[in-house]
Amino acid sequence: MAQNAPLQPMAPTMASNSSERPPDDPTAARPRLLVYTRVYPNASQPNYGLFVRERMRRVARELDLVVVAPVPWFPFQGLIRRFKPHFRPEVPDYEEQDGIRVYHPRFFCFPGFLKWTDPLFQALGSLATLRRLKREHGFDVIDAHFVYPDGVAARLLGRWLETPYTITLRGSLLRFGKSRLQQAQIEQALTRAAKVFSVADSLRRDALSWGQHPDHVQVVGNGVDLERFGPEDRTLCRDKLGLPNDARVLVSVGGLTERKGFHRVIDVLPGLHRHFPDLHLVIAGGASPEGNNEAELRQQIERLGLQQHVHLIGPMAPEALRHVYSAGDVFVLATRFEGWANVFLEASACGLPIVTTRVGGNAEVVPSEDIGLLVPFDDAPALEEALHRALEKRWNRQAILDHARANAWQTRIPLLVDAFCEIHAMHHAMPVEAQTDKDEAGENDETSENDQPPRSGKSGPDPT
């Protein structure tokens, strides 16, 4: 069994404006955050959840924070890896990334079924780590990312540790609507959160349709790092990738999963080749926790005779992606759903127009035909036509770059910092009775046994 990682000194990872505050001082204006999410980069999955880290490492310049990124565990997952090599890779108990401490407690998780149990097991597996951090160093707000299971687990942890929590909506809410049990868990978690953030207005509207009050859900979109992403010399970038300088080049970036829709783009290439015989498609990405359909993509490429025109270049480090974007003429992502895809702003920051599907928050990131073209999901003729238009159109690259600059991270972080400070102030100004009443409010007033923390000093059995 893996042992809990020893707690590291907090001071090196704290924002300078509050590092001298004693852990038990509730009157300080600047809260300490505990970021809580399974979706966060680690040594084995360096590109997993980069969008969360990019957001929170900028918040860390203003507020003290530590990250707890739980890792799913199952007794026989080593055997499963013999058939699925990328399944739940080994993750260290503790890391330091960009000066931020990251803990990876294990929690029992059935692979592929009984997913309604994930929030409870995740909360139990994380409780010992959070109790130690709360006791020895102090934190004021739990900041959870993704509503399920992370946000639901944060509700339990917030109740057990008497700490307010927030939830950032990402991805999709609607996919949980078919499970009444998951939906009930999510509704409780959203209602009892101190604040719900949403990376896109489309997700906010979904939350309102689930009964959330408009004032309770605040849109704070993702941003783009303009120091990391910007235009590079196209000829040099193509030389690095072994692409012809005079070719037409489509670029796509993401985990190699069905949801991202690379197969949908490959399917329309033969039709496009009749008009653009020099057309190439570059796909940057690899296996992800969602899956890995690289083998299927390679079979499709071979079946269509596109081996010389489609290039699977594997996962790329974030600092190398700007050269991939800059090698292209058009960025394309035929995705099934997205909350707010950072790749769109990254492509815009490198001057690329976008072709993507009208799903989730995509229309918010690609708000006009000056930036890109939107097509219905799973409409191959519409996708082919849009790519044809995009490849022939004379784009105003400066307008695309200006759009990226308007969505830089610097425009987002002050909103988050102000919200966390307000939550902190309100929590400590609220009488204990009022806090209890708020926690017990909602449609399901009964307190289940699962809402009670383990009574011993332990968080239950350590499955690792």
Mean pLDDT calculated for residue range 6-24: 46
- Give 451's pLDDT tier (boundaries 50, 70, 90): low
Q: What is the pLDDT of residue 444?
A: 43
Q: What is the pLDDT of residue 428?
A: 75
Domains assigned to the chain: 11-222+412-444 (3.40.50.2000), 234-406 (3.40.50.2000)
Instruction: Pull the structure tokens for residue 275.
Output: 């008009």
pLDDT tens per residue across span 240-275: 999 999 999 999 999 999 999 999 999 999 999 999
Residue 442, pLDDT > 50, answer no
- Other C-beta atoms lying within 10 Å of the C-beta of residue 365: 27
- Which pTM value belongs to this model? 0.80
pLDDT tens per residue across span 363-405: 999 999 999 999 999 999 999 999 999 999 999 999 999 999 9
Q: What is the mean pLDDT of the chain?
A: 87
